[in-house]
């Protein structure tokens, strides 16, 4: 039996307001071909199928078309869990119809833990999968009036760990044949390496757990949320598959991957990764205007022929004129998505930064908050509770 672990597709994602649908379609075509070629039996998608809670019709069409196509392949079972970007309602709405196609969906934490656990038997091999979605505070922890901030976060972390323990205990209860047990999750595990495109999915760092907090009964834990493929805490059985496409220029220096597990004789006999092709070339240039222009001839497309995207960090004075740079770039077949000053002073006020910014979308809420604290001479580093509280409010707003 072969199981493919992937996550963080972020269908509908836009990079600096540029649609990434072309590389998303190429990825879906590629993974369909991979599933056919490698005879994958089970597909696991560990959250963040979509980039927003209200995906476009185009994103939904890509998603459903892909799932339908898999019915003609060797893949006979698909399990999908919700991530922090996903709307539980959107994912769960067609779950009964998809269930008839052997596609199991868990958009949010269920009231009964058994509804997150699935037994799958194929070709005389059996596996049990605990499909745990992104666990929202309100879904797993009951608030009590008058709780302090520390009590709130401690209880969330405890409830999160207990949810995984309950899933593992139920798996143990029904596992009469000593089949391998796989847990799915969508969270930040301490020790993981992040990029610029991940959101902090809970207050500060207080809701994060380590590899050692997962139940040892799981033979493998298929995680989503972090976009770099990686092993957590040097524990070979706790892994992030990473995102299949580049979602930030901070992700261009490592390969994108999927993970494939082989099950034989009631054991996970092998864990291998497979490199996903780079469907679009990304370039990050650093230097003076002249130095960057000299690098333009080296910017080329790849065999997928998508136009390369470029981000430029200039080592110039704050009042530099970039017209020559833009004019020269028009001679080449690539798009510059962003031009920024590498040595720009971070202490500028909000009004000054806004005056130099083409669009308010270029400013992140966290940057604005930090800048405002600097203007008010408020030492944010010495008051981590305020930073954590801001993150809590920010995440609450993003869910609406």
Q: Which pLDDT belongs to residue 206? A: 45
Residue 172: is its pLDDT beyond 60? yes
- pLDDT for position 317: 79
Name the percent of the chain lying above pLDDT 90.
69
Q: Report d(CA 25, CA 27) in Å as an integer.
A: 5
Pick the residue with more confidence: 199 or 380?
380
Residue 217 DSSP code: T
* pLDDT above 60: residue 255: yes
How many beta carbons lie within 10 A of that of residue 316, not counting itself?
19
- Using H for helix, E for strand and C for coil, what is the string for the chain? CEEEEECCCCECCEECCEECHHHHHHHHHHHHHHHHHHCCCEEEEECCCECCCCCCHHHHHHHHHHHHHHHHCCCCEEEEECCCCCCHHHHHCCHHHHHCCCEEEECCCCCCHHHHEEEEEECCEEEEEEECCCCCHHHHCCCCCCCCHHHHHHHHHHHHHHHHHHHHHHHHHHCCCCCCEEEEEECCECCCCCCCCCCCCCCCCCCCECHHHCCCCCCEEEEECCCCCEEECCEEEEEECCCCCCCCHHHCCCCCEEEEEEEECCEEEEEEEEECCCCCCEEEEEECHHHHHHHHHHCCCCCCCCCCEEEEEECCCCCCCCHHHHHHHCCCCCEEEEEEECCCCCCCCHHHHHHHCCCHHHCCHHHHHHHHHHHCCCCHHHCHHHHHHHHHHHHHHHHC
* Residues in contact with 114: Cβ distance below 8 Å, sequence separation at least 6, in sequence order: 170
**pLDDT for position 230:** 94
* Alpha carbons 325 and 49: distance in angstroms, whole number: 37
Encode pLDDT of 211-228 as tens digits.
889 999 999 999 999 999
Band (252; pLDDT cuts 50, 70, 90): very high
pLDDT classification of 358: cutoffs 50, 70, 90: very low
Mean pLDDT for the stretch of residues 115-144: 88
The single-letter DSSP state of residue 45 is E
Strands 257-264 and 2-6 turn out to be: antiparallel
Domains annotated for the chain, with CATH where assigned, are 2-275 (3.60.21.10), 280-344 (3.30.160), 354-400 (no CATH)
pLDDT in tens, 225-245: 999 999 998 899 999 999 999
Q: Quick one: 179 exposed, middle or buried, by C-beta within 10 A (0-12, 13-18, 19+)?
A: buried
pLDDT at 365: 79
Q: Give the per-residue pLDDT at 398.
A: 58
Mean pLDDT of 138-163: 70
* Overall residue count recorded for the chain in this entry: 400
pLDDT tens, position by position, 70-127: 999 999 999 999 999 999 999 999 999 999 999 999 999 999 999 999 999 998 899 9
- The answer to whether residue 205 scores a pLDDT higher than 50 is no
Q: Across all residues in the chain, what is the average pLDDT?
A: 87
Predicted confidence band of residue 348 (pLDDT cuts 50, 70, 90) = low
pLDDT at 357 over 70: no
Phi, psi of 354 (to 5 degrees): -65, -35
What pTM did the predictor assign? 0.83
Distance CA 206, CA 153 (A): 6
Cα–Cα distance measured from residue 200 to residue 210, given in angstroms and rounded to the nearest whole number: 16
Residue 26 has pLDDT above 70, yes or no: yes
Asked which of 143-147, 155-159, 197-201, 392-396 is least confident by mean pLDDT, the reply is: 143-147
Apex CA 25: angle with CA 23 and CA 31, to 5°? 100
Max mean pLDDT range (23-27, 95-99, 194-198): 23-27
Q: Give the DSSP per-residue string, 1-36.
A: -EEEEE----BT-EETTEE-HHHHHHHHHHHHHHHH
Closest of 220, 217, 253 to residue 239, by C-alpha: 220
How does pLDDT run across 276-297, given as a tens digit for each residue? 999 999 999 999 999 999 999 9
pLDDT > 80? residue 38: yes
Segment 316-333, tens digit of pLDDT: 877 788 898 999 999 999
CA distances in angstroms from 253 to 57, 310, 340, listed in the order given: 32, 14, 19
When pLDDT is averaged across residues 20-34 and rounded to a whole number, the result is 98
**Rounded to the nearest 10 degrees, what angle do helices 149-174 and 384-399 cross at?**
60
Q: What is the pLDDT of residue 363?
A: 65
When computed from its CA atoms, the radius of gyration of the chain, rounded to whole angstroms, is: 23
Report pLDDT for 150.
57
Please report, for residues 40, 113, 117, 163, 201, the alpha-carbon distance to residue 110 in angstroms, rounded to integers and kept in the order given: 28, 6, 10, 10, 19
What is the predicted pLDDT for the residue at 14?
95
């Amino acid at each position: 039996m072969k199981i493919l672990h992937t996550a963080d597709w972020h269908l509908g994602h836009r990079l600096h307001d540029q649609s990434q649908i072309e590389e998303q379609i190429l990825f879906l075509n590629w993974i369909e071909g991979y599933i056919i070629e490698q005879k994958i039996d089970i597909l696991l998608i560990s959250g963040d199928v979509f980039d927003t809670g209200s995906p476009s019709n185009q994103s939904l069409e890509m998603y459903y078309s892909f799932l339908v196509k898999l019915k003609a392949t060797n893949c006979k079972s698909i399990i999908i869990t919700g991530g922090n970007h996903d709307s539980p309602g959107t994912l769960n709405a067609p779950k009964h119809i998809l269930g008839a196609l052997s596609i199991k969906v868990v958009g949010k934490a269920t009231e009964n833990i058994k509804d997150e656990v699935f037994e799958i038997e194929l070709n005389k091999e059996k596996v049990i999968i605990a499909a745990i979605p992104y666990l929202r505070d309100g879904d797993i922890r009951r608030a009590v009036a008058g709780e302090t901030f520390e009590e709130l976060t401690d209880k969330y972390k405890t409830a999160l760990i207990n949810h995984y323990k309950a899933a593992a205990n139920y798996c143990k209860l029904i596992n009469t044949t000593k089949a391998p047990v796989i847990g799915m999750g969508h969270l930040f595990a301490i020790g993981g390496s992040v990029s610029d495109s991940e959101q902090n999915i809970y207050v500060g760092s207080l809701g994060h757990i380590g590899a050692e907090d997962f139940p040892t009964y799981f033979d493998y834990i298929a995680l989503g949320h972090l976009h770099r493929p990686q092993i957590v805490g040097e524990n070979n059985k706790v892994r992030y598959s990473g995102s299949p496409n580049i979602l930030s220029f901070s992700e261009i220096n490592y390969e994108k991957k999927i993970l494939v597990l082989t099950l034989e004789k009631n054991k996970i006999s092998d864990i291998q990764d497979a490199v996903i092709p780079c469907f679009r070339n990304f370039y990050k240039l650093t230097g003076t205007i002249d130095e960057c222009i000299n690098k333009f001839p080296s910017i080329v497309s790849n065999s997928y022929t998508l136009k390369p995207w470029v981000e430029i960090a200039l080592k110039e004075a704050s009042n530099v004129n970039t017209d020559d740079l833009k004019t020269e770039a028009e001679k080449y077949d690539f798009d510059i998505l962003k031009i920024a000053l590498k040595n720009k002073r971070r202490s500028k006020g909000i009004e000054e930064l806004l005056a130099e910014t083409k669009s308010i979308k270029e400013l992140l809420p966290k940057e604005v908050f930090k800048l405002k604290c600097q203007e008010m001479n408020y030492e944010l580093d010495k008051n981590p509770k305020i930073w954590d509280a801001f993150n809590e409010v920010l995440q609450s707003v993003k869910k609406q």
